[in-house]
Amino acid sequence: MTTSTPQAKPAPETLLQRTLTTALNDIGTDSVLAAIFHQENGPLVEHAARGFAPRDIQAILRTLSTQRAAALTPAAHEPDGGHTVRLRLITPGAKSLLVVPLRHLGRVYGCLVIGRKEGAAFSKKDKAHLEQMCDGMTKALDREGLFNTNVVLSRPYVAQEAAPPPQAGADLFPPMIKHFSPELQEKIEAVLTEANHYVAYDRAWACYYDPLAGNVEVLGLVGDVKAEQKDAKKDLKPGHRLTLDSSAAGWAVRHRKPRVDHDLASTQGRFLDHKHLFKDRFQSSLVIPFFVKGQVGGTLTLGAKDPERYQTTDARTLEPIILKLADLLQTPAPQTPAPTPAAAAGGTGPQLIPAAPSEPIIRKQERQAAIGEFSAFLATEIREPLASIRSQLEEVTGEGILDFDPQTRVENAMRDLIRIESILNEILDFAKPLELNRHLCRIPEVLESALVVVGTDLEATRIQVTKDYANVIAPVRGDEAKLQQTFLSIFRNACEAMSPGGHLTIQVTQHRAGRGLEVQILIKNDGVPIPAEIVDKVFEPFFTTKSSGIGLGLPSVKKIVEEHGGAIAISSAPGEGTTVTIRLPGVSRGPAFRHRGRGRRHSRRPS
């Protein structure tokens, strides 16, 4: 019995690979390979290929290294060395191979290998065309700032995107900042101030990319900032979050390349960060993404009140600043050592040994850790490529170069892609920790607001709603929006289970729970009961009996209720329908909700 060895995780695509791949797409041939020297007299390294099998690529590179095909290796005695030659090698996918050297400033830095399935020789016209393509490829690399005078190829400004293998137990999600603090904000603002010595700006800020949340958050902001104006609360400031689709910083994250805008009036309606700049009479901006251990770590944004101040090449000039920002994101959080029992007690008295966590708590922590790791994988390896694909499709459809039928097919593909992204976002939203905006809530009012949302569905299906609220109900300290989301999910499930003309009963009571109070909400419907064999599974993630959906509705409800310190249960039986019981801790010292009348019946019928 043989065991399969786990495959190594592929390294993220570098800027060099993306540039070469784009250039190769313009070459109309069966098979093509771009190989690069990364140091003087060093071996050729394959960076982009099409049509060649991995075994073919290894054979070609081995032949070029051993035969030094037509002096392709840049040697000191041949500064102008290298010319187009026919490679004496036959691969399964190509019978005729042509090697064209890649030159920059008279130095050969790599080669382009062209393969044809037929054995016919290449004509002079073909060779001249390929040399022209190589010149275009060199210009594309030069525009991205990939050359310098010390080595044949320099590392790009996204230098750290080629990640080394992570160590065992290392952070699987390095770009996420888990220790944001005023000290970190001061350090980032100091780096932003230093950036003015490299490229002038009127305002600058840095964001970090949160893959799980799918947005960018402002970490620090310097420059021309009006903090005393009336609407200062609406301005960008540390802690402000921007979605990827509605910000220029998000665009740079999705496309993994800089963005330069010279007319903010045309983009301020699309990008929220440009809207803030345009409001303060800024005219141009530069957004640069930077990488941390192979993942997008965040963005650097510069704004100017002068038009056309920035160019894409400014990203290369700002590389020292970008590297400092990346280092700050990788700085581990300062850890305060826990005092020993002896130190806490002044060295006297018996030492207290903390109780070990119980087995259910350990299992829950392991489950949460596993979900976190899986979510990190989805956010970086699935959502980022999907966002890149969608952005490219948006560019193609926006250019208007496609005929009607191809345009329609691309738009259909985009709709499917958006649906996949929404499902993925739903999974990631479930996986990330809840952030509750707690304040005193009155449960009957939250229920009423949720009923208003589903009122149209209730009227369309002629469902009668009976409400029974106690005269005095203690308030609950919680997030009103999250609680409304909970009740909406339960109401919609009830509507799907009931036939037209059904009954929905809502009862809210208050009970004593130890020294405190407890608010109990019962939501009962007389629809089709849940089978007894699956009642215990309805709160399990990804369990669903519906043809649509991914089974995160009720698990999300349970998560919200438990984050509020409450509990939820479901009972169902034939002839009795289904009852959802929610218990939430009430606040005894607060303004109680008093309801006039009891047992009122509200019916929702079509008008």
Q: What is the model's pLDDT at position 157?
A: 42
What pLDDT sits at residue 185?
87
Residues in the chain: 607
The top-scoring range by mean pLDDT among 74-88, 366-380, 591-605 is: 366-380
- Does residue 551 or residue 372 have the better pLDDT? 551
Please give the sequence-ordered ranges of beta strands (E in DSSP) within 141-274, or none if there are none: 203-210, 215-223, 241-243, 259-261
Does residue 497 carry a pLDDT above 80? yes
pLDDT confidence of residue 194? 92
Query: Between 363 and 261, whose confidence is greater?
Result: 261
Residue 411 phi, psi dihedral angles, 5° rounding: -65, -40
Rounded alpha-carbon distances, angstroms, from residue 163 to 158, 324, 604:
11, 17, 60
List, in order, residues 6 or more apart from 367 with CB less than 8 Å away. none
φ/ψ (deg, to 5) at 567? -145, 155
- What pLDDT is recorded for position 191? 92
Residue 504 near residue 525 (C-beta atoms within 8 A): yes
Portion of the chain with pLDDT greater than 90, in percent? 11
Task: Give the contacts of 2 (CB within 8 A, at least 6 positions apart).
Answer: none
Mean pLDDT of 597-607: 43
d(CA 39, CA 30): 30
pTM value is 0.45
DSSP 8-class letter at 130? H
Instruction: Give the phi and the psi of residue 396 in degrees, each rounded to 5.
Output: -65, -45
Query: Alpha-carbon distance 472 to 508, whole Å?
Result: 10
pLDDT tens column, 567-576: 998 888 887 8
User: Residue 146 pLDDT more than 80?
Assistant: no
Q: What is the pLDDT of residue 447?
A: 92
Mean pLDDT of 487-498: 88
Residue 546, φ and ψ in degrees, nearest 5: -90, 155
d(CA 378, CA 371): 10
Task: Give me the mean pLDDT over the 517-530 stretch.
Answer: 88
Residue 7 has pLDDT above 60, yes or no: no
| CA–CA distance, 520 with 513 (Å, rounded to integer) | 11
CA-CA-CA-CA dihedral for 274, 277, 279, 282, to nearest 10: -120
- For residue 481, is pLDDT > 70? yes
Identify the pLDDT of residue 605. 42
Taking the C-alpha atoms of residue 282 and residue 274, their distance in angstroms, rounded to an integer, is: 9
CA 284/CA 222 separation, integer angstroms: 17
Query: What's the mean pLDDT in 134-163?
Result: 63
Q: With 80 as the cut, is the pLDDT of residue 222 above it? A: yes
Rg, Å, the chain Cα set: 31
Q: Are 242 and 215 in contact (CB under 8 A)?
A: yes
Distance CA 450, CA 66 (A): 74
Residue 41 is predicted with a pLDDT of: 60
Question: Residue range 231-249: average pLDDT?
Answer: 78
pLDDT band at 519 (very low <50, low <70, confident <90, very high): very high
CA-angle at 241, arms to 240 and 242, nearest 5°? 125
- Structure-block tokens of residue 323: 């590297």
Contact 553, 493 (CB under 8 A): yes
Residues 6 or more apart from 263 whose CB is under 8 A from it? Answer: 283, 307
Q: Which helix (H) or strand (E) holds 557?
A: helix 553-563
Could you tell me what percent of the chain has a pLDDT over 70?
73
Whether pLDDT at 233 is above 90: no
Average pLDDT over the chain, rounded to an integer: 75
Residue-level pLDDT at 542 = 74
Structure tokens at 318: 């700002």
- pLDDT surpasses 50 at 252: yes
Task: Write out the E strands in 234-317.
Answer: 241-243, 259-261, 284-292, 295-304
Q: pLDDT band for position 82 (50/70/90)?
A: low
pLDDT at 190: 92
Q: What is the pLDDT of residue 457?
A: 83
Q: What is the pLDDT of residue 159?
A: 40
Bridge partners (DSSP) of residue 215 are 210, 243
Examine the pLDDT at 387 and tell me if it is beyond 70. yes
Query: 33-74, pLDDT tens digit by residue?
Result: 888 876 666 677 888 888 888 888 888 887 776 655 444 644
**Cα–Cα distances in Å, from 561 out to 436, 439, 541, 542?**
11, 15, 15, 18
Q: Is the pLDDT of residue 155 over 70?
A: no
Closest by Cα among 582, 601, 603, 572 to 497: 572
SS3 content of the chain, % helix, strand, coil (to 5): 35, 25, 40
Give the 3-state secondary structure of residue 551. coil
Asked whether residue 474 carries a pLDDT value surpassing 80, the answer given is: yes
Cα separation of 219 and 204, whole Å? Answer: 11
What's residue 40's pLDDT? 60
Do the Cβ atoms of 192 and 301 come closer than 8 Å? no
Q: What is the pLDDT of residue 392?
A: 78
Q: Which pLDDT score is estimated for 108?
A: 80
Q: Which pLDDT belongs to residue 599? A: 45
Mean pLDDT, residues 279-298 taken together: 85
Is 216:209 a contact under the CB 8 Å cutoff?
Answer: yes
pLDDT surpassing 90 at residue 530: no
Rounded to whole angstroms, the Cα distance separating 414 from 394 reads 8
Taken in order 591, 595, 598, 599, is the CA torsion positive or negative? negative
What pLDDT was estimated at residue 401? 79
Q: Cα(257)–Cα(158) distance, rounded to whole angstroms?
A: 9
Tell me the mean pLDDT in the region 9-14. 58
Confidence grade of residue 105 (pLDDT, cut at 50, 70, 90): confident
Contact 536, 554 (CB under 8 A): no
What confidence tier does 602 reach under pLDDT thresholds 50, 70, 90?
very low
Residue identified by tokens 């806490």 is: 344
d(CA 588, CA 510): 11
Separation CA 139–CA 133 (nearest Å): 10
State which of 90-104, 347-361, 365-379, 494-508 shows the largest mean pLDDT: 494-508
Q: pLDDT class for 156, splitting at 50, 70, 90?
A: very low
